[in-house]
A and B are shown apart, each in its own frame.
Chain A
Amino acid sequence: MNNSTETQTKSGFDFGKIVSKLGPLLALIVLVIIVSALNTSFLGINNIMNLLQQVSINALIAFGMQFVILTGGIDLSVGSILALSGAITAQLIVSGFSPIVAFLIGAACGAVFGALNGLLIAYGGAAPFIVTLATMSVYRGLTYVLTNGNPITGPAMNDSFSFQFLGQGYLFGIPFQVYLMVLGFAVFYVLMHKTAFGRKTFAIGGNEKAAFVAGVKTKRILIWIYVIAGFLAAIAGLVLTSQLGSAQPDAGTSYEMDAIAAVVLGGTSLAGGKGKMSGTLIGALIIGVLNNGMNLLGISSFFQQIVKGIVILVAVLLDRKQAKN
């Protein structure tokens, strides 16, 4: 009998649907127009490259974060994983490992840290928020222990072409890390939208119990998802370490916030089960343009935080309104 209590109304022209489909892209375009009108140097090639460099790091983290959020979870530890993986890599290079090997080990470490998150969440049955809040602290603490609170740097890092290329190199006039972002987008876009793994990710976020009954190995998938998040955070950490020429113990602090913001601005539901990879890329660009634009306009960093917070709030409230309609 309950099924009949839902009545549906449909209007001919669905304005809301169009806005919700193109919303993030429209917001990005409007933002670019406003910023470039206020400061002409915004569209300069140097500034654009600089902006894309910043965006790359956040976007890489956000791609992983989106998988997590699609399952209805959250990963607060990505900033700490970024720092710890960066520090491990730097330490290895300083101790004489070849940068390539050190990169591989660093990335693998990120995956392992993510796996630990996933294991605790899937088998420990603890809430993702709590687990990653705790591991955020643990991984950050380990970073301080490893670095002794000081940056790790040395000639072994800064004299190495392959180490420097990752975060400072250019290919055809475009920073190398932008290629990494594009590659990351392509790979994880396919994973999210074209594979059975992606389908199961959405299913878990939509209704974990129903997914389990339908034969989805929910625990296994969840662990892999946190592995992805950890791995991508580590890659972002390697890029940042290379860009700075050193591993900073407090690197990546509060980066999880920008990543979550990018995912949410891109239209992914925090409740899980709904979202698009392209949205997250656009979300990361919006955050990047906001940061970069406000810097160009000379807005103090104190105010920048307020503006960013308000933008995220507005985006979420608009999204809620859409969901209700």
Chain B
Amino acid sequence: MKIEMKGISKSFGKNEVLKDVNFTVHSGEVHALMGENGAGKSTLMNILTGLLDANGGEILVDGQPVKYDDALQAEHSGISFIHQEMNNFGEMTVLENMFLNHEIKGKFGMLNMKEMRAEAKKVLQRLNVDIPLNVPIGTLSVGTQQMIEIAKSLMNDTKILILDEPSAALSEKEIDSLFDIIRGLKAQGVGMIYISHRMQEIFEITDRITVMRDGLTVASYPTAEVDVHQIIKDMVGRDLSDFYPDREPKYGETRLEVDHFTSQGVFNDVSFSVKAGEILAFSGLMGAGRTEIMRALFGIDHHDSGTIKVNGQEVNLKTPSDSIKHGVGFLTENRKDEGLILDASIAANIDLPSIDGFVKHGLVDQKADNDFVEMLIKRLTVKATSRNDLAGDLSGGNQQKVVLAKWVGSGSQILILDEPTRGVDVGAKREIYDLMNELTDRGVAIIMISSDLQEVLGFSDRIAVVYEGRLMGEIATQDANQEKVMTLATGGKLDE
């Protein structure tokens, strides 16, 4: 099977997401599709599998033009899409999940369990994995669930498999088994489109790399003929060195000092400190515990032991409200869930942590409040028609700016930013970095959690690496490189 996408274009309103995209994949090939968030990868895949309609261009399968109306039709033609977020029903068994909506029925419409079990075993065998069929799928690890997802697609006689960030939530060991499966499927003639940001994996598993940027396919190479540096250059559109603004930190006093911070079974004996004017990056694999440490620090979750000092004073941060009083702000990684009230205005979001400061004689001083909000909207260049626009109507980058405005406004001297540029377009990213520079210049201490290694290496002063809930080490960013960080992030040690 050979799929050719030619001259594909797609707009959402005025926003041109795909301009002129060409992409080809065939059976027995593992083809990496790379690009920054917002480059158009997912849109392209959604068009291929019929989830979205293209505005222009054509899709040829083995030379014949096709157009799928929905994902089911694409699946029947042998194209399966394994999404980043799986839609499993955690309480139902593996078998029930595998056959959901295409149950095999016997007499009187009763389920034919025997045949379904045999069928499931057969396809799992093809992947060379052994998974119990009668346990609730929610009790299995994400990696195992993903294998089941792949197995499910194989039941439809898949010829082309799209894997969207398949390794994002997997442990090192699980990634190895995933790669075994990928190699096995490749040998069986299945073609795969592999979407990932992880360079190491791309170079390990793929045969060909196509890079997208701003809605265009900018380059396509056989993997063996290209290096990481070139790919990054293609993705970012310029050399990495000028994508991130320069850091010229001037450190002040220690703002935050965390000692022997522990939450049983989540993180253990974590100690670190940040100075005024410094950006401390927290790196590590997904699930290493970085977010959990910060959530406990900020008072969202509990911790069991350890001390926190703010500006040299030991403090007890039991709730976010305590933390805010001590000048700590926290931009959470999931802004729709915990960062914003989507149905409320920009203003109501920005002033929420500061609202008590605007109370005069028991009432909110509306004018002072409005001035405050307007000032922040301007300062953070939030693009909106007015402060009364709903936060939910803004683009990802502008939403992130609203959350930042909230914490800048509350006067945070210690700012914890959990994936501050995730789901943010390139332009807004740069603005966020500039703002971080401006804040550190004014003596704010920033802790930045980021899964984007380029970002960590390109825009921090010091890197703390977390592995399985422990702090494996700290590296000054100027001495750091990808290998060093990855070694620590995977539980290794640096030889001095």
Q: Point out residues on A near B: beta carbons under 8 Å.
A: 1-8, 190, 194-196, 199-200, 202-203, 206-207, 209-217, 273-274
8 new A-B pairs (CB below 8 Å) besides A8-B13, A202-B344, A273-B341? A203-B348, A206-B344, A207-B341, A213-B332, A214-B320, A215-B323, A215-B353, A273-B343
Given the known inter-chain contacts A209-B337, A215-B320, please indicate yes or no for A195 contacting B38, CB distance below 8 A: no
Contact of B42 with A213 in the complex, beta carbons under 8 Å? no
- The CA-CA distance from A206 to B338 in the complex, in Å, is 11
Distance between A278 CB and nearest chain B CB, rounded to angstroms: 17
In the complex, which residue of chain B has the Cβ closest to the Cβ of A193? B364
In the complex, which residues of chain A have a beta carbon less than 8 angstroms from the beta carbon of B341? 203, 206-207, 210-211, 273
Given the known inter-chain contacts A1-B42, A1-B43, A2-B396, please indicate yes or no for A211 contacting B343, CB distance below 8 A: no
Q: For chains A and B in complex, what number of residue pairs have CB atoms within 8 angstroms?
A: 108
Contact of A210 with B423 in the complex, beta carbons under 8 Å? no
In the complex, which residues of chain A have a beta carbon less than 8 angstroms from the beta carbon of B467? none
In the complex, which residues of chain B have a beta carbon less than 8 angstroms from the beta carbon of A212? 300, 319-320
Q: Does B339 have its Cβ within 8 Å of any Cβ on chain A?
A: yes
7 A-B pairs in the complex with CB atoms less than 8 angstroms apart: A3-B395, A6-B393, A194-B363, A199-B351, A207-B340, A212-B320, A214-B406
Contact of B37 with A194 in the complex, beta carbons under 8 Å? no
Contact of A207 with B364 in the complex, beta carbons under 8 Å? no
Given the known inter-chain contacts A194-B364, A216-B321, please indicate yes or no for A4 contacting B355, CB distance below 8 A: no
Over the window 335-379 of chain B, the binary record of Cβ atoms lying under 8 Å from chain A Cβ atoms (1 yes, 0 no) is 001111111100010011101101100111010000000000000
Contact of B393 with A4 in the complex, beta carbons under 8 Å? no
Distance between B223 CB and nearest chain A CB, rounded to angstroms: 25
Contact of A5 with B12 in the complex, beta carbons under 8 Å? yes
Contact of A215 with B359 in the complex, beta carbons under 8 Å? no
Distance between B84 CB and nearest chain A CB, rounded to angstroms: 12
In the complex, which residues of chain A have a beta carbon less than 8 angstroms from the beta carbon of B321? 215-217
From A1, A194, A217, B17 is in contact (CB under 8 Å) with A1
Contact of A203 with B42 in the complex, beta carbons under 8 Å? no
Contact of A211 with B12 in the complex, beta carbons under 8 Å? no
In the complex, which residue of chain A has the Cβ closest to the Cβ of B344? A206
Distance between A33 CB and nearest chain B CB, rounded to angstroms: 34
In the complex, which residues of chain A have a beta carbon less than 8 angstroms from the beta carbon of B325? 215
Distance between A70 CB and nearest chain B CB, rounded to angstroms: 12
From A8, A195, A274, B363 is in contact (CB under 8 Å) with A195
From B323, B330, B340, B355, A196 is in contact (CB under 8 Å) with B355
Given the known inter-chain contacts A199-B352, A199-B355, A273-B343, please indicate yes or no for A215 contacting B363, CB distance below 8 A: no
In the complex, which residue of chain A has the Cβ closest to the Cβ of B321? A215
A interface, by DSSP: helix, strand, loop or mixed? helix
Contact of B364 with A274 in the complex, beta carbons under 8 Å? no
Q: What 3 A-B pairs come out closest when comparing CB atoms?
A: A206-B341, A215-B324, A7-B13
Contact of B352 with A4 in the complex, beta carbons under 8 Å? no
Distance between A4 CB and nearest chain B CB, rounded to angstroms: 4
Over the window 8-40 of chain B, the binary record of Cβ atoms lying under 8 Å from chain A Cβ atoms (1 yes, 0 no) is 000011010100000000000000000001101
In the complex, which residues of chain B have a beta carbon less than 8 angstroms from the beta carbon of A1? 17, 37-38, 40-43, 423
Contact of A195 with B362 in the complex, beta carbons under 8 Å? yes
Given the known inter-chain contacts A1-B17, A1-B38, A4-B15, please indicate yes or no for A196 contacting B393, CB distance below 8 A: no
Over the window 272-297 of chain B, the binary record of Cβ atoms lying under 8 Å from chain A Cβ atoms (1 yes, 0 no) is 00000000000000000000000000
Interface residues of B in 368-424 (CB under 8 A from A): 393-397, 399, 406, 410, 423
Contact of B300 with A211 in the complex, beta carbons under 8 Å? no
Given the known inter-chain contacts A213-B338, A214-B353, A214-B406, please indicate yes or no for A4 contacting B344, CB distance below 8 A: no
Distance between A213 CB and nearest chain B CB, rounded to angstroms: 5
Contact of B352 with A203 in the complex, beta carbons under 8 Å? yes
Given the known inter-chain contacts A194-B363, A196-B356, please indicate yes or no for A217 contacting B319, CB distance below 8 A: yes
- The CA-CA distance from A212 to B324 in the complex, in Å, is 11
Contact of A196 with B358 in the complex, beta carbons under 8 Å? yes
Contact of A196 with B364 in the complex, beta carbons under 8 Å? yes
In the complex, which residues of chain B have a beta carbon less than 8 angstroms from the beta carbon of A216? 321, 352
- The CA-CA distance from A207 to B340 in the complex, in Å, is 7
- The CA-CA distance from A5 to B42 in the complex, in Å, is 11
In the complex, which residues of chain B have a beta carbon less than 8 angstroms from the beta carbon of A200? 352, 355
From A5, A6, A7, A215, B352 is in contact (CB under 8 Å) with A215
- The CA-CA distance from A203 to B348 in the complex, in Å, is 8
Contact of B320 with A213 in the complex, beta carbons under 8 Å? yes
Contact of A199 with B364 in the complex, beta carbons under 8 Å? yes
- The CA-CA distance from A223 to B486 in the complex, in Å, is 48
Contact of B13 with A195 in the complex, beta carbons under 8 Å? no
Interface centre among A195, A213, A215 (most CB of B within 10 A): A213
Distance between A271 CB and nearest chain B CB, rounded to angstroms: 8
In the complex, which residues of chain A have a beta carbon less than 8 angstroms from the beta carbon of B342? 206-207
- The CA-CA distance from A271 to B230 in the complex, in Å, is 50
- The CA-CA distance from A1 to B35 in the complex, in Å, is 12
Distance between B221 CB and nearest chain A CB, rounded to angstroms: 24
In the complex, which residues of chain A have a beta carbon less than 8 angstroms from the beta carbon of B324? 214-215
In the complex, which residues of chain B have a beta carbon less than 8 angstroms from the beta carbon of A190? 363
Distance between B481 CB and nearest chain A CB, rounded to angstroms: 30
In the complex, which residue of chain B has the Cβ closest to the Cβ of A209? B338
- The CA-CA distance from A2 to B422 in the complex, in Å, is 12
Contact of A4 with B12 in the complex, beta carbons under 8 Å? yes
In the complex, which residue of chain A has the Cβ closest to the Cβ of B406? A214
- The CA-CA distance from A194 to B325 in the complex, in Å, is 23
Over the window 145-177 of chain B, the binary record of Cβ atoms lying under 8 Å from chain A Cβ atoms (1 yes, 0 no) is 000000000000000000000000000000000
- The CA-CA distance from A190 to B362 in the complex, in Å, is 10
- The CA-CA distance from A92 to B150 in the complex, in Å, is 72
- The CA-CA distance from A1 to B424 in the complex, in Å, is 8
Given the known inter-chain contacts A273-B341, A273-B344, please indicate yes or no for A2 contacting B423, CB distance below 8 A: yes
In the complex, which residues of chain A have a beta carbon less than 8 angstroms from the beta carbon of B396? 2-3
Contact of A210 with B337 in the complex, beta carbons under 8 Å? yes
In the complex, which residues of chain A have a beta carbon less than 8 angstroms from the beta carbon of B41? 1
In the complex, which residue of chain B has the Cβ closest to the Cβ of A269? B343
Distance between A178 CB and nearest chain B CB, rounded to angstroms: 26
Given the known inter-chain contacts A3-B396, A195-B359, please indicate yes or no for A214 contacting B352, CB distance below 8 A: yes
Distance between A218 CB and nearest chain B CB, rounded to angstroms: 9
- The CA-CA distance from A1 to B38 in the complex, in Å, is 5
- The CA-CA distance from A38 to B31 in the complex, in Å, is 76
In the complex, which residues of chain A have a beta carbon less than 8 angstroms from the beta carbon of B395? 3-4
In the complex, which residue of chain B has the Cβ closest to the Cβ of A8? B13
Distance between B408 CB and nearest chain A CB, rounded to angstroms: 13
In the complex, which residues of chain A have a beta carbon less than 8 angstroms from the beta carbon of B42? 1
Interface centre among A3, A6, A210, A211 (most CB of B within 10 A): A210
Distance between B50 CB and nearest chain A CB, rounded to angstroms: 15
In the complex, which residues of chain A have a beta carbon less than 8 angstroms from the beta carbon of B40? 1
